[in-house]
Structure 1
Amino acid sequence: MGACLWFLFFAVNGVAAFVHPSQLSSCRVLQKNAYCSDLNLTSVPPQLPPGIHMLDLSRNFLQNLTEDILSTYPTIRQLNFHSNRIQSIQPGLFRNMNHLQVLDLSRNQLHLYAALKTNVGPLTSVQKLDLSGNGLYTDMSDYFLRDAPALTNLSLNGNSITKIGKETFSGSLALRKIDLHNNVILEIEEGTFNSLQHLTELDLSMNSISCIEDFNLFPLTSLNLSKNSMTSFQCTDLDKEFELLYLDLSENKIHYFPILPYKNKIIHLDLSRNQLRSVNCTGAAEELQYLKDRQELTHAPRCSSNHHQELPRLRYLDLSYNHFTAVPSDFFNSMVDLETLNISNNCLGTFMVDTEGPLNALKTLDLSFNNLQNFTFCEGTLQGLRSLYLQGNYLSTLDFSRLHSITNLHLQLNTLHVCGSQDQPSGCVSFSSMPSLQYLYLSENNLISVPAHAFQGTPLLILDLSLNPGVKISEQALSGLENSLIYLSLRGDQLQTLKTDLSLLRSLRMVDLSRNQLTSLSLSRDSAIEILHLQNNSLEILEDHTLMALEGKLRTLHISMNPLSCCANTRLIDWVQQASVDIPDITMATCHYRKDAEYVKINLRNVKTEHCDTLNGKVFVISLIAVLVLGLMVVLLVAIKLCHSRSHRFNHSYRA
C-alpha cells in the first residue's frame, strides 16, 4: 500500500511537471548555476542540467524535501532554500551530497520538523549552514548539528532559543563562527564552547544574558554581547593570554569597567549605552554593596592595583551614552595605539590630556554633548588628532594652536566668539593660521560677529556659520578663502544684506543662505556656485546681472518662500520654464502680479506673458500721456517766449 502511495506521489509530480513545464523553463541556468527563485515552485525542478554546482530555490512554496529529486544532483555545492515553507526533511537527505558546502535553510518552518526529534542525518561536507528565522527553541538545533564534522560557519539568529547546552555543538567541532543574534538566551551552560578549539567569532547580541563572570574562550577573536541585560563582564583567568580582538558590550546595564586579562590583545572595545560612572574596574564600596543587595553581583571583581585596565593595543574605544562625570588622564597611559575615542553624551565637566598619556596616535576624539566648560591638552599631546567633536557643550574659549594635524572641528552648540586675525585669543577663539584645518562647524554659538580675515591662513573647504541670529559678518570675513572654500552655510542668521561678494570665492560650489531676511543678492562676476539655497528670504527681484553670473554653472536652486515679482523676474521665470536649472522646491515657488488693484500669487511654472501685459499696457498709456503733456507744455512755453520777444521789439521801435 505504501509503495503504491509513493508511486502515485511520483506519478502526480511527473504529470504536474509535464502539464506545467513553465516551472522548469523559468529557471535560469548560467554556466553551472541554476536560479529558480521567486517562481512559486512547490517542489524541486526534476529536469535541471546534470552537473550543476549551485541551485537557488529561495522564495518559493516548498514544504517537503525528499531524496527522490535532490539525489539526481550529487554535484551541488551550494543549495539555497531561503524563505520557503519547509517543515519536513527526509532523514539522510544530504548523505550522498558529498560536494555540498553551503546549505541555506533560513526563514522556513523547521521548528515543526525539530519537534519530531529526528536527526537530519550526516552533513558530511557542509561548511556553512544557515538555520536563522525558523522558530527553533532550546535543543531543537541539535538535530541539525549532531553530524556536521566540516561545519565552520553556523547561523541561528532570529530564533527562540532560551538556553545553550553543552551538547549543542558536540557534533560540529570544526566551528569557527557562530551567530546566535536575536534569540532569547538566558543561560549558557558552563563549558558549552570549550570543545570548540577553532571558534574565533561568536555573536550573542540581542539576547537576555545577565552577566559573564567566567569568560574563558581563549581562541575567540570577536565577541558580540551587545543588547543584552548584562551588569558585569569578567574573565576567569587574568594571567593567561586571550586572542580576543573585538569586544562589543554596548547597550547593556554594566556598572563598572570590564575585567580583562592583563595580557590582552583587544583593539576594539565598545561600552556605549551602559550605566558606567567610572573607568575603574572596581566601583566604590557603596555601589558594590548596592549591587549585591539587588543580587546583580555575586562577588566583587578582581582588578589591578591602580584600578585601571591595561589596554596597550587598543585602537577603538567607545564610552558614549554613559554616566561619566570625569575621566582621569592616567586612564589613557597604556593606550599608546588608540586611534578613536568616543566619550560623547556623558556628564563630563572637564577633560584633560597630559604628557603622561599623550594620546599621540589618536585621530578622532568625540566629546560632544557633555557639560564641558574646559578642554585642555598639554604641549606635545594629541599630535595626530585629525577630527575633534566638541558640539553641545558650554565652551567659550579654546586654543587650537597646538593641534598641528587637525582637519575637522565640530564646535556647534557652544558659546564661542571668533577672533580677528590680529586679535589676541582672550575671550575668543582664533581660527587663523591653522594650515591643516579643512572643515569648521560653528552653528548655534550665538556668534556676535565674524571679523575681517578671521580665517586667514586656514584653507577651509567647509564653513558652517548657520543659526547664529543677528551675527555681523564683515565684508572681509572670508578673505583668504578665495581658492579653498567649497561649501558655505549662513542659514538662519537673520541677515538683511550680504556684504561679502560670493563670486570672489572661486572654488565655492554650494551656498546655503536660506531662512534669512535678504532683499537682494549681488554677484560681481562669473560664479562657480552649483547649488544655491535662497528659500525663506525677502527677495522680490533676482537681478539679471546676478543670474548672468550664475548662468552655466548653477545646477540646483532653492527659491521658494520669497515675495518674488512675476513681472520683474523674467530671466528667472525663463530658467524655470525652460528647466535650465533644477528647482527641488518648485511646487512651493511662487511670485505675485497685480490684477484689478490686487496682488495675485501664482507658481513660477505657470506665469504667462498676459499676466504682465495689462500692467505693461497701462504703463505704456501713462507714458504716452506723459509724453504728450510734456510736449504740449514745451510748445506752450516756446509760444509764450516768441510772443514776449515780438512784443519787446515792437515797444523798442515805438520809443525811438
Structure 2
Amino acid sequence: MERQLLCSILFCQLIFLSEPSPSSEIPCVLIDVGYDCSGHSLQSIPDQLPSSVQILDFSFNFLPSIYNSTFARLKSLVHLDLTRCGINWIYEDVLQNQKNLETLILTGNQIVFLAMNSFNGPLALKHLVLGQTSVKDLKRLKSDDLNSLETLDLSDNSISTLDNLNNFIWYKMKTLNFQMNDIHNISAPEVSALKYSRGLDLSFKGNRIVHIEPRAFESYDFNSLDFSGCFDGETISTILSGLSGVRTNILKLAVYEESAKTYITSDSLHGLCSISVTELDFQMLHFPDLSSATFACLTGLRKLNLRRAHLELLPSAITNMGNLTHLFLDENDFRNVCDVNAHNFPSLTHLSMKGSRHELLFQDSCLRNLSELKFLDLSHGRLDTGSYCCEKQLDGLANLLYLNLSYNMAISWSSVPFRTTPQLKLLDCSQLKFSYDSSNQGPFSNLPHLQALNLSKSNLNLSDPRLLEGLQGLRHLTLTGNIFNKGVISDAEMFKHVPLLETLIISKCGITAIGDDVFHNLTRLTYADLSDNHLGTVSTSAFFSLRNIQLNFARNKITIVDVERVAGLEGTSKIDLSYNPLVCNCSNIKFIDWSQSQQDKVIFLEAP
C-alpha cells in the first residue's frame, strides 16, 4: 500500500516536470540573454537581476518616476521595455550608464515631465518608441542625444506640427511613425530635412490631413509612405499634389474598416501621374467610375492591393499595366473569375481572390493569359467550377507553384484535376469536400514536385491506397479531421507513395489503433501528430526510426505506457503525452522510472 502511494506521488509530480517552478527570490523568467519581469507590479528593479543582463522586459509594472539611479547597476543593457509602467516623470541622465543601449520602449506611459538630457548616455540608441506617451511636439526630444536613431515611433500622441523635425539627423533613420496624431497641415520647410534620408518608412496613418503644400516632397526617396485614413474623396487629390515628384516603393492610400464610405473618382487620382510608385494599397475604397482611366498613371506599378474595394469587375481594356506582378482582390463582389480580365496583366505572378462575397464562377481557361502566374488563392469563398475541376479551369497556368482552394463548396475532380499545373509545390484543399474516380489513378498522380499538401477535413476516403499516388516529392502532409476506416491504420500501402515525407499530421482522425510497421516506408519522418484521437496505447513500433523524431500523442486515451515502446527514443526525439488520463499508480512504475531519467524526452501537461 505504501509503495502504491509513493508511486502515485512520484507520478503526479512527474506530470508537472515541464512547468517552471516559480522562484521566491525573483519574479522574472530567464529569456536568452535577459529577463522577462513583466506584469508583476514591481516598483523597482530586483536586486537579484545580474548586472550583465542585456535584455530586460519590465513592462506592466509601476515606476512613476525614473531617476539616474533606477538602472545604474545594469550597465550591459541593449534592449529595455518599459511599456505601461505608469511613468510620469523622467529626470536627467537616466541612461547615463547604458552606453550599449539600442532599444528603448516607453509605450503607454503618460509622461508629464521629460528632462532635456533624459536620453543622454547611450552611444548608439537605434530604436526609440514613444507611442501613447502624451508627446505634443518634437521640442521635448533633445535631438543631440538621438543622432544614431533608426526608428522613432511617436504614434497615438497629440502632435499637431512637424516643427523641429529638421533638428534630427536623418541619414540613418529607417522608420518614422506619426500615425494617429493631430497633424492636419504639412509644409515644405517642415519636412525639408527628410530629403537626406534614403529608404525611410514614413507613416501619417490616421491623421486627418487637410492640406499638403504642393510638391512638398518633390525629389524625396522613400521606401514606404502611409496616408491610410488621412483623407476623404475630396482631399485625396490634395495629398497627391503634395506628393508630386516623390519616389516611393510603397504608397498606402487605404481607409479603416470603420470609416465612412470613401468614394474615389478617376479624376482625383490624376496626381499619381507625377509620383513614382511600385506598390499601391487602395484597400476598402469605393470607385464609382472605375474605368481604364482610373489606372492611366500606374504604368510602373508592380503590386496593387484592392482588397475589399467593392469591385464587381475590372475594366476590359487596361493597356498600361503590363508590369504588374501582384494583384490582391480579396473580399470583393466578383461573380466570375473571368471578370478580372486577366489579359490586362501578362506579367502577373500572384493573384488572390479569397473571401469572395458571392458565389464565384470559375470557367474554363479564365486565366490562360497568365502564363507567369505562380501563386493563386481562391480560398474562403463559394467557388463554382461547373461540372468537374480543375484541369480546364487552370488551363495555361503551367508555372503555377501555389494553389489554395480551401474553405469552398464541394466539388468533383476531373480524372487528373491538376494536369495543367504539373509544377505545383503547395496545394491547400482543407475544408474542401471533393470526390474523384478512384478506379484508375490518384487525383495528384501528376504532381511529382508537390512538397506540401493540406487535405484536412475534406471527407476523404482514407482507405484508398491510390490517394497519394504520384507524390514522391511530398514533404508535409495534413489529413486532420478525416476518418480512417473503423479507426484503424493497418495498411502501409497508401504511404509508400510519399517516401520523402517529413511531417505527417493525422490528428482528429478517430484513430483507435495503429498497426506495426505502418509508417516504415517513411524513412525521413521527423514529426508525427496523432493528437486528439482515441488511442489507448503508444504505438511507436509503427515508425521506421525513433531517432530525431517528434511524436505528438496528446489528448488521446492513454492510461498506461509500455516503457519498451518509448525507450528507443534517441537523439533529439521527444514524445508529447499531454492531456492523457495517465494513471497515478504502480502500473506505470517502469515508465515513471524511465521518465525521471529521461526528462528531456517526455512532455507532460495536465488539463486546465
One fold, TM greater than 0.5?
A: yes
Q: How has the CA–CA distance of structure 1 residues 201 and 559 changed in structure 2, closer, same or farther, with 3 Å as cutoff? A: closer
Which among 496, 512, 519 is matched to residue 529 of structure 2? 512
* Residue identity in the other structure for 1:314: L
Relative distance call for 1:419 and 1:535 in structure 2 (3 A) is farther
1:359 corresponds to which of 370, 380, 388: 370
CA distance in 1: counterparts of 2:587 and 2:124, whole angstroms: 75
CA distance in structure 1 between the aligned counterparts of 2:406 and 2:551, rounded to whole angstroms: 26
Q: Helix, strand or coil for the counterpart of 1:448?
A: coil
Q: 1:393 to 1:401 in 2, by over 3 A?
A: same
Question: 1:377-456 residue pairs with structure 2 within 5 A?
Answer: 378=392, 381-394=396-409, 395-397=411-413, 399-417=417-435, 420=438, 423-424=439-440, 430-456=443-469
Quick check: 1:279 aligned with 2:313? yes
Match status 1:245 vs 2:278: yes
- Distance in 2 between residues matched to 1:80 and 1:479, nearest whole Å: 50
The separation in 2 between residues aligned to 1:322 and 1:263, in whole angstroms, is: 21
Name the aligned partner's letter for residue 312 of structure 1. Answer: G
Which secondary structure state, in structure 1, belongs to the residue aligned with residue 595 of structure 2?
A: helix
Aligned to 2:382: 371
Larger RCO of the pair (alpha carbons < 8 Å, separation 6+): 2
Return the offset for 1:323: 3.2
Q: 1:157 aligns with which of 178, 193, 197?
A: 178
How far has the Cα of 1:470 moved from its partner? 5.5
Larger mean Cα displacement after TM superposition, 211-220 or 125-134: 125-134
Q: Is the 8 A contact 2:313 2:339 kept in 1?
A: no
Q: Tell me, what secondary structure is at the counterpart of 2:347?
A: coil
- Matching residue's letter, 1:188: V
In the TM superposition, what is the alpha-carbon distance from 1:383 to its structure 2 partner?
A: 1.8
Show CA shifts across 1:359-379 (max 9, x none).
Answer: 232222111111013154547
Alpha-carbon distance in 2 for matches of 1:129, 1:545: 56
Q: For 1:522 and 1:113, how far apart are their aligned partners in 2?
A: 66
| Residue 479 (structure 2) aligns with | 465
| Aligned position for 1:533 | 552
Return closer, same or farther for 1:186/1:357 CA change in 2, 3 Å cut-off.
Answer: farther
Please, which runs of 5 or more residues in structure 2 have no aligned partner? 1-50, 52-57, 70-77, 94-98, 118-122
Q: Is the 8 A contact 2:490 2:514 kept in 1?
A: no
* Contact preservation (8 Å) 1:527, 1:553: no
For 1:316, which of 296, 319, 326 is the aligned residue?
A: 326
Match of 1:207, SS? coil
Q: What's the CA shift string for 1:336-364, capped at 9, x where partnerless?
A: 33222221111342334738743232222
**Alpha-carbon distance between aligned partners in 2 of 1:130 and 1:451, rounded to the nearest angstrom:** 58
Distance of 2:505 and 2:380 partners within structure 1: 22
Change (3 A) 1:554 1:336: same
Structure 1 Cα separation of the partners of residues 405 and 419 of structure 2:
16
How many equivalent pairs are there? 509
Query: Per-residue CA shift, 1:439-483, capped at 9, x if unaligned?
Result: 111111122343124323312222222212454667144242463
Contact 1:103 1:129 in 2 (8 A): yes
The 5 A counterparts of 1:149-298 are 155-158=176-179, 160-166=181-187, 169=190, 171-172=192-193, 174=195, 177=200, 179-182=202-205, 184-189=206-211, 191-205=213-227, 207-211=229-233, 212-213=236-237, 215-216=240-241, 217=243, 218=245, 219-228=247-256, 229=259, 230-232=262-264, 234=266, 236-237=269-270, 240=273, 242-251=275-284, 259-262=294-297, 264-272=299-307, 274-280=308-314
Q: CA deviation at 1:253?
A: 5.7
Structure 1 contact 322–345 (Cα < 8 Å) conserved: yes
Q: Is the 8 A contact 2:326 2:349 kept in 1?
A: yes
Q: Provide the rounded CA distance (Å) in 2 between the counterparts of 1:103 and 1:479.
A: 51
Q: Residues 112 and 65 of structure 1: is their aligned pair in 2 closer, same or farther, counting only changes over 3 Å?
A: farther
Structure 1 segment 3-82 matched on structure 2, within 5 A: none
Q: In 2, distance between residues paired with 1:533 and 1:424?
A: 35
User: Counterpart amino acid of 1:388?
Assistant: L
CA 506–465 in structure 1, closer or farther in 2 if over 3 Å, else same:
closer
Letter in 2 for 1:409: L
Structure 1 portions without partners, runs of 5+: 1-27, 29-36, 45-54, 67-75, 94-98, 282-305, 590-656
Q: Which residue of 1 aligns with 2:576?
A: 557
CA distance change for structure 1 residues 313 and 377 in 2, over 3 Å: closer, same or farther? farther
Residue 349 of structure 1: aligned partner:
360
Classify the secondary structure of the residue corresponding to 2:327.
strand
**TM-score, with normalisation over the residues of structure 2?**
0.66
CA contact (8 A) 1:271 1:318 kept: yes
- The structure with the larger Rg is 1
The share of aligned pairs that are identical, in percent, is 17
Normalised by the length of structure 1, the TM-score is 0.62
Q: CA deviation at 1:264?
A: 1.7
One-letter identity of the residue aligned with 1:555 = K
Higher helix share: 1
For the residues of structure 1 that align with 2:588 and 2:437, how far apart are their CA atoms?
Answer: 40
